[in-house]
Structure 1
Amino acid sequence: MDGKKGIKVALGSFLIHFFATSMLAAAAVSISITNVVEWEKDKNFGMNRSQLNQIILNYGIMMISCGVTGVLGIPGYLGHLTSYTITIMLGGLLMALTLFLPSMSSGMAESGVVMIIQAIVLGIGISLNYIPAYTILAQWYHKRLGLMTGISLSGCALGTLVFSIINNSVIRNYGHVKAMQIQGIIIIVGCLMSSLLIKMHILKSKKAGFFDWKIISDTRFLVLASATLISGLGRYMFSWLTSTLLFMINIQHGGGNGVATCIVLVVSQLLGFIGGGYLSDRTGYIGFIGVSMFVFAISVLLLLAIIIPSSSLTPGMPEVISPTTWPIYIVLVLAGISNGTLGSVIPASILQMFGPVRLPSVTGLLVLTINILVFIPTVNYTIFNDSEAGGYNYINKEGFVILTILAFLATVIGGVFALCLPKLNRRYKRKLLMRELEQQHHEIRRESVVILSSEKEVEEEKKIETIIR
């Protein structure tokens, strides 16, 4: 544990996050930049509401598929039955196929049924790829698990920056189809090479890796799931709000702030991944879940302070007061640090509370509880409204403010739940200790009774021998 062999595994995990996990975020950034270009052409959003809803639906199906696959214990089961290397290779292959094959035919790519199937298979591939790479370090590190998890996750942040620039260039010059094909090739090649560095530190087992449904009755699990579900609602709304606001700012500045925004996000996430992981190794992992959520709540509160003074948020509308850029950067820095810290402490926290066998499946359940909220259509219909006068969509400021307040409340409530976890875990450990002491006490009493009974038997035998004599 915590040796040189673990460094090779951490490097493999870093590269997997760099080549595979980051692709989804990079694609989202590229779509946002493309929409800015489309706005400049016809003063409208690059996609209408139905197209946006289709993206939301597909993303939701993909992430729910990813979460369900993790909850069922498929990544952990395959990893322990074969190896994490084979599991990650299989996940990368599924991700690459879902991106590469539909792009071969325009009719296939535009089919709604094919897109749903693509989202399901892509979610399974992400689960087989992401969860093993995310949890494998718990087998190799004990004292520095938070730091090494953060370092490996930094590959996702750096990959988002690199591949968003590459994707944007490919989309502008060759179109979305070619971009999907290149993404598929990068994922499969990157996963095949990186997975060779992933080695398991425990023996293979057919029994390990499945989800233990008895854990549902555990109070700690219910509190953790509630915290991630409620705070996930706040994070989901916050992501929509900030991405929309940044979209408006980029339009106001001719799209020149896209790269700068991406750099700010990457740097802040790196601070959270590495700094949060380093501090959690010294102060405790479970408590940092609640701390990161409250830091995120502060960023939401600052976003609200930026929005309220603006009379309008949409370019081209009368009396526009567009927020300046630097306050948004402060919001993004706090949010990035919070997300990075949360990502670095989750595996260690689950390991401390539920053990190594349950780690992959519980991680999958947290993915499911967070991303199931993507089906909530409130954000889309509250922020965007059809403008009869201007002929394009605009942002409803009142709805924007309401959603920001709801995001703040959800994050705070989730943080309160999370702050209860350390106490609940100590209470659980105390119960286990008391139970062990009671068992030891009963065993000692049983042994003493056996000893006394044997001594009585010896005395009786001596008496009988004396009488016989």
Structure 2
Amino acid sequence: MVGQPSPKWKEVDFFVLADQHAEEATDKPPDGLYAWMVSAACFVSLMLSIGINDAYGVYQQHYQLNEFPQATTTLISWIGTVQFLIMCLGGVFSGFLCEHFDTRILNAAGALLMGVAFISGSYCKTVEMLMVTQGLLYGLGASFPFIAGTSIPSQWFTKNRGLATGIALSGSGIGGMWMTSATQALIDSLGRPWAMRVTGIVSMLAVLAVSPWMRVRLVPNRNERLIDWSLLKDLRFSVFMAALVFDIAAYFGPFFQMPSYSVVVLHKSQSWGSNIDTLMNGLSVLGRLIVGFLADHIGPLNLLIINTIIAAIGILVFWVPFESVRTFFVVVFLFGFSIGGIVSVIPVAAAQVFGIARLPSIIGLLFIGYFVGGLLGVPPMSALLDNVGGRTNYTSSIWYMGVLPLCSLVLLVVMRLLITRELKVKI
């Protein structure tokens, strides 16, 4: 009625799977100062592990236009794709290991492997060898900080879980932002080999430094299965996992292709193109923080749906029909903000709906979806650019990027309807 306040969002427990019995792994309480130190450590770990992967567009541009001009876009894109795929596949094993071994030691081991990968990659002079070092070896090392940094914050918070997770995951966007600019500057001033050596040393030392705080708070009853396939028996989890496949498939395309698009289509400089990735990473940080804050008030799954809508609008409404700098910036703003929000609320939504005790292994299972999403993302986009667009016409590739979030949107709406048909419910 007029004059009455609007009803608040309902707060209802929608756990599809009850939390399994878990033991406290530490006497440190949740929501306290130590919990925020853990969140800060996850921030740094993700800043280097995922941030470097987000900055691969600079290497893609350099390889494509300078170092390997005779190689196809598809072949070169496999370096960054392998990097992400192995990170996800390794995340499945990391989730299992995090439930059985000290995550602080695992995080430190990952840091060492990350450094070795980039330093050894600096001596590689072929695309194939870069796939092994910059791609496979780095992805394997980064999988430990990736799974730990993504899953641990939710265990340490009960009051501000969305905000704390958003802050931790904003590290990947901030890392991508400064790593993009730093990588371009290092390549311009020192050359690609030394750029990789500096990156390897910095990432290794920084992640090693924060590893003592990378610890879980809850240890569930031991499950000796590497992957808990019983999760897939619940239709809602299966739909959620399928939706993430399409969201992750859409994630890296713009980061990989926008720098070269800026040069080839908009006729800008290579540094201008790398700055676009920097800007988009900065916007993704903003998206992570804002959406993380809002998730505590209106629900992570609701925010995931809203952000997927924004991502689809950005690509299909403003990028597909236009080839101008102004509309391109609109795409960068909409997609950068929304994709940051998407990746930040995925673990929060998983914790909200499926419970937090086994969150590392749950997210490890979701990383199988990430792996499939990586295969459905950049490689087909690059193949369309090579074979349909002749390496200069990006239209077919952009259409593909836009259809992916639409597919995810349909599945997310189905999942929400399976849980509840009430509209104003915090979930």
Given the two structures, how large is their TM-score scaled by the length of structure 2? 0.81
Give the residue type in structure 2 aligned to 1:339: I
Please point out which of 413, 422, 425 is paired with 2:407.
413
Residue number in structure 1 paired with 2:312: 297
Larger Rg: 1
| Alpha-carbon offset, residue 363 of structure 1 | 3.5
Query: In 1, Cα distance between the equivalents of 2:354 and 2:365?
Result: 8
Percent identical across equivalent pairs?
20
* Structure with greater helix percent: 1
Please point out which of 371, 374, 380 is paired with 1:371.
374
Please point out which of 30, 34, 39 is paired with 1:5.
34
Helix, strand or coil for the counterpart of 1:200? coil
Matching of residue 380 in structure 1 with residue 385 in structure 2: yes
**What CA RMSD, in Å, does the superposition of the two structures yield over aligned residues?**
2.8
The 1:29/1:190 distance shift into structure 2, 3 A limit, reads same
The 1:93/1:425 distance shift into structure 2, 3 A limit, reads farther
- Residues 334-356 of structure 1: CA deviation (Å, up to 9, x unaligned): 10111111111111111223333
Residue number in structure 1 paired with 2:87: 66
Give the residue type in structure 2 aligned to 1:64: L
- Residues 168-219 of structure 1: CA deviation (Å, up to 9, x unaligned): 2222222211111111101110111011222321247653784201222221
Residue number in structure 1 paired with 2:168: 152
- Residues 394-441 of structure 1: CA deviation (Å, up to 9, x unaligned): 523xxx3344334333322210111122232349xxxxxxxxxxxxxx
Query: In 1, Cα distance between the equivalents of 2:401 and 2:179?
Result: 29
Query: In 2, Cα distance between the equivalents of 1:282 and 1:25?
Result: 29
| Alpha-carbon offset, residue 158 of structure 1 | 1.9
Matching of residue 88 in structure 1 with residue 107 in structure 2: yes
Does the aligned pair in 2 maintain the 1:96–1:187 contact within 8 Å? yes
| Alpha-carbon offset, residue 277 of structure 1 | 1.0
Query: In 1, Cα distance between the equivalents of 2:247 and 2:48?
Result: 28
- Residues 223-248 of structure 1: CA deviation (Å, up to 9, x unaligned): 11221223444445555554443233
Give the residue type in structure 2 aligned to 1:378: A
Please point out which of 48, 51, 57 is paired with 1:28.
57
Give the residue type in structure 1 aligned to 2:386: Y
Matching of residue 163 in structure 1 with residue 179 in structure 2: yes
Please point out which of 200, 203, 213 is paired with 1:187.
203
- Residues 49-98 of structure 1: CA deviation (Å, up to 9, x unaligned): 52533322333333322222223xx2123223222211111111111111
Structure 1 residue ranges without an equivalent (≥5): 39-45, 308-322, 386-393, 428-469
| Alpha-carbon offset, residue 378 of structure 1 | 3.0
Given the two structures, how large is their TM-score scaled by the length of structure 1? 0.74
Query: In 2, Cα distance between the equivalents of 1:234 and 1:34?
Result: 22
Count, aligned residues:
387
Residue number in structure 2 paired with 1:313: none
The 1:263/1:122 distance shift into structure 2, 3 A limit, reads closer
Residue number in structure 2 paired with 1:43: none
Structure 2 residue ranges without an equivalent (≥5): 1-29, 422-427
Residue number in structure 1 paired with 2:43: 14
| Alpha-carbon offset, residue 135 of structure 1 | 0.8
The 1:404/1:26 distance shift into structure 2, 3 A limit, reads closer
Query: In 1, Cα distance between the equivalents of 2:108 and 2:310?
Result: 36
The 1:208/1:277 distance shift into structure 2, 3 A limit, reads farther
Pick which of 145-154 and 238-247 moved more: 238-247
Query: In 2, Cα distance between the equivalents of 1:344 and 1:209?
Result: 27
The 1:383/1:236 distance shift into structure 2, 3 A limit, reads farther
Query: In 2, Cα distance between the equivalents of 1:342 and 1:112?
Result: 32
Does the aligned pair in 2 maintain the 1:99–1:183 contact within 8 Å? yes
Does the aligned pair in 1 maintain the 2:156–2:217 contact within 8 Å? yes
Does the aligned pair in 1 maintain the 2:259–2:276 contact within 8 Å? no
| Alpha-carbon offset, residue 281 of structure 1 | 1.0
Pick which of 3-12 and 117-126 moved more: 117-126
The 1:117/1:303 distance shift into structure 2, 3 A limit, reads same
Helix, strand or coil for the counterpart of 2:71? helix
Residue number in structure 2 paired with 1:458: none
Structure with larger RCO (C-alpha < 8 A, sep 6+): 2
Give the residue type in structure 1 aligned to 2:370: V
